Amino acid sequence: MQIIVLGMHRSGTSIVARLLNMMGAYFAPEKVAVPPTTANPKGYWERWDTLHLNENFLTALGITWDNFSQFKTTDITPEIQSKFELKAREIILGLDAHRPWMMKDPRFCLLLPFWQPLLEIPVCVYVHRSPIQVAQSLKTREGFHKMLGIALWEKYNLHGLANTADMPRILVCHEELMSHPVAAVKKLHQELLDCEVQGLRLPSEKEIRAFIDPTFFREHGDTQLQNTHINHQQAILVEAFENGTIFQLELLPNLSSGAAEILQAYKNQLDAAQEALRLQQQITERDAEIAKRAEEVAERDAEIATRDEEITHLQKNSEALKQTLQTQQAQNAKYQTQVASYRNQLLVAENQVTTLEQEITELDHQKHLLQTQLTETQETLTEKEQIISALFIKTDTQLHQIHKLIQWLGALNADIKAVFNSLTWRSGHFLTKVILKFMFRKAGLTAQDHIQETLGCIAAWQSQTDVTDNEPITPVSIRTSVTPIKLLETTTAPSLSKALIQPNPKDYSRWIQNYDSLTKKIVKRMQQRIKEWDYHPVISIVMPTYNTDEKWLRTAIESVQQ
């Protein structure tokens, strides 16, 4: 449910709002709640956003909470409503998340026609207090005359009663709340339940008495004093409020003529005070402007006196300047003659500069041609070097293959020697000689003779290769050589097949000597090439592996990086 608390200012609406909050009605988060003041130490239990919206709405209507003598409900036009409707909907939407909730502001008496269409199921809690006590409280807080306070009470209540006529209403009497707080709160709670307001609880008697402090009930104007200040029409309203029939009145009276006159007089007084304030501001502004102009006149007079002194001084200087001018004119004539001479010299220098610029241009052209030729020559040289490098790489490959072939021939030589020295060969060779003698035939060239002749040719070729390897090969800083090995040896070597297929892993030095093709010359040549590279690799190590676990590969790479 949506509970709207309204009534005339200083009627006790704040007390009722707090009691509703104690019952469980939500009203605002802490930062949005209006804090207590000395005028209302128990708190206002209002929202800043609602208060500001209502005040801005009144400003848009051209009135204030206390100066609205000509206000009519019809003054609330759709154009003015549209300016504030979005903000009002935001406030109600935030409150609807915490039903039941309540909003309290005496200005609802005037502005409820704007708020009511935005509400779904509102219930009005209407707070009444005697007009004389309201007037006394306004006199204490605002300094208002009692008759003005009573006139405001009448106009606020007439608007409030008219604007809540078609809504569920509950009347709360301030005097009953102060004199019998527990009974009044129980009655209010029951009437809210009768209006189908759910989710409320009845505060305990201790809570009620702790909050309602009679010491804050400072205005005690009685009926006798009240009757001396109110008119007949206001007395009818008071009687209807006090006997509880105010909501049953079929026709509300119009604002009494006395109240209308008082409110209009108050408006005229405020208008006159505002006009007087405006005139006083104008007078203050004019006085300030006059003082400013007087200062400006004094400054101008001082400037004129200063200018007169400056003129006199300038006149004295003028004569001296005339004499100086004549001297300067004579010097100028002399300088002009010198300038003419300098101009002639400048023309000669400019001609020389032009000639030099032409020569520089020609030299630049020649330089450009030479640079072009140099670039072309460098490109050609680069291409030749690339071709030479490719040829030397090919040569290295071939020499490497020759080196392997020589190793194989060496192994083959050792195997052949082993064959010739074997018992089988020697016995067969001896039998062959015996048979030839018996046959009276002369022995010719045998396969052994042919093999030894071939091995001799290979040894001669190898000795020739040893000589040429010691000579430089190219002028391009590329060196290619093959470390020679002795082809014919006197010692007995294992057969080629055993050397290739079954190397002894313990005899590593012999294995390296027979099968490792990476010689010192090749290593040196590779190092020389690496130095000539433009970009060097971070790691220049190749580790061939086969089916190796990842952890061993990572360990190997980390060891190289370290």
Q: Residue 125, exposed/middle/buried by CB under 10 A (0-12, 13-18, 19+)?
A: buried
pLDDT category, 517, cuts 50, 70, 90? low
pLDDT in tens, 384-440: 888 888 888 888 788 888 888 888 888 888 888 888 888 888 888 788 878 878 877
What's the chain's average pLDDT?
A: 85
> In the numeric block, which tokens belong to residue 369?
């041609």
Confidence of residue 266 (pLDDT cuts 50, 70, 90): very high
The type of residue at 393 is I
Q: How far apart are CA 405 and CA 105, in angstroms?
A: 114
**pLDDT at 389 (0 to 100):** 82
pLDDT score, position 185: 97
Give 279-331 pLDDT, tens digit per residue.
999 999 999 999 999 999 999 999 999 998 999 899 889 888 988 898 888 88
What pLDDT was estimated at residue 227? 86
Q: What is the pLDDT, as a whole number, of residue 455?
A: 81
Report the distance separating Cα 355 and Cα 547, nearest Å.
Answer: 79
pLDDT beyond 90 at 516: no
CA distance 256 to 254: 6
Q: Average pLDDT, stretch 180-195?
A: 96
**The predicted structure's pLDDT at residue 483:** 42
Domains of the chain: 2-253 (3.40.50), 402-532 (no CATH)
**Looking at residue 512, what is its pLDDT?**
58
In the predicted structure, residue 262 carries a pLDDT above the cut 50: yes
Q: Is 537 exposed, middle or buried (0-12, 13-18, 19+ CB in 10 A)?
A: exposed
DSSP 8-state code for residue 123: E
What is the per-residue pLDDT for 419? 84
SS (HEC) of 149-176: HHHHHHHHHHHHHHHCCCCCEEEEEHHH
Place 219 in a pLDDT band, splitting at 50, 70 and 90.
low
Work out the pLDDT band at 491, boundaries 50, 70, 90: very low
CA torsion through residues 500, 504, 505, 510, sign? negative
Q: Provide DSSP, 52-109.
A: HHHHHHHHHHT--SS--TT--GGG--HHHHHHHHHHHHHHHHHHHTTSSEEEE-TTHH
Q: Is the pLDDT of residue 186 over 70?
A: yes
Supply the pLDDT for residue 161.
97
pLDDT of residue 471: 47
The pLDDT score that the predictor gives to residue 381 is 86
Long-range contacts of 430-434 (CB under 8 A, 24+ apart): none
Q: How confident is the model at residue 65 (pLDDT cuts 50, 70, 90)?
A: very high
Q: What does the pLDDT read at residue 441? A: 73
Q: Residue 430 burial (CB < 10 Å; 0-12/13-18/19+)?
A: exposed
Residue type, 336: Q
Give the model's pLDDT for residue 427.
84
d(CA 546, CA 248): 107
How confident is the model at residue 544, as a pLDDT? 77
Q: pLDDT at residue 367 above 60? A: yes
CA–centroid distance for 255 within its chain? 61
Cβ contact 492:418 at 8 Å: yes
Secondary structure of residue 541 in the 3-state scheme: coil
For residue 490, pLDDT beyond 80: no
- Taking CA atoms, 422 is separated from 12, 417, 418, 446, 493, in Å, by 138, 8, 6, 17, 13
**What confidence tier does 255 reach under pLDDT thresholds 50, 70, 90?**
very high
Least confident of 135-149, 168-182, 479-493: 479-493
Residue type, 153: W
What pLDDT does residue 180 have? 93
Is residue 482 scored above 60 in pLDDT?
Answer: no
pLDDT at 99: 93
pLDDT of residue 500: 42
Quote the CA–CA distance of 259 and 234 in Å, as a whole number: 9
Instruction: State the helix-helix crossing angle for 108-115 and 146-163, rounded to 10 degrees.
Output: 20
Give the mean model confidence (pLDDT) for residues 155-181.
Answer: 95
Summarised one tens digit per residue, pLDDT across range 108-126 is 999 999 999 999 999 999 9
511: confidence class by pLDDT, cuts 50, 70, 90: low
Residue environment code for 482-494, b if the CB has 16+ CB neighbours within 10 A, otherwise e: beeeebeeeeebb
What percentage of the chain has pLDDT greater than the value 90? 50
d(CA 111, CA 76): 8
71-107: burial string, b at 16+ Cβ within 10 Å, e else: beeeebeeeebeebeeebeebbebbeeebbbbbbbbb
| Most confident listed range (198-207, 416-425, 510-519) | 198-207
At 136, list the tokens. Answer: 């006394």
Phi, psi of 122 (to 5 degrees): -80, 150
- Give pLDDT, residue 62: 96
Q: How far is the C-alpha of 188 from the C-alpha of 498, rounded, in Å?
A: 119
Residues 6+ apart with CB under 8 A from 116: 122, 163, 167
Higher pLDDT, 409 or 35: 35
Give the pLDDT mean for 59-68.
Answer: 96
Helix, strand, or coil (residue 324): helix
Q: Phi-psi category of 494—alpha, beta or left, where left has phi over 0 and alpha has psi -120 to 50? A: beta
Which pLDDT value is given to residue 538?
67
- Residue 498 in this model has a pLDDT that exceeds 50: no
Minimal CA–CA distance to 23: which of 184, 247, 214?
A: 184
The mean per-residue pLDDT over the stretch 157-179 comes to 95
Q: Quick one: pLDDT at residue 206? A: 94
Q: What is the pLDDT of residue 216?
A: 63
The pLDDT tens digits for 321-357 are 988 898 888 888 889 888 898 998 998 988 899 989 9
Distance of CA 507 to the CA centre of its chain: 72
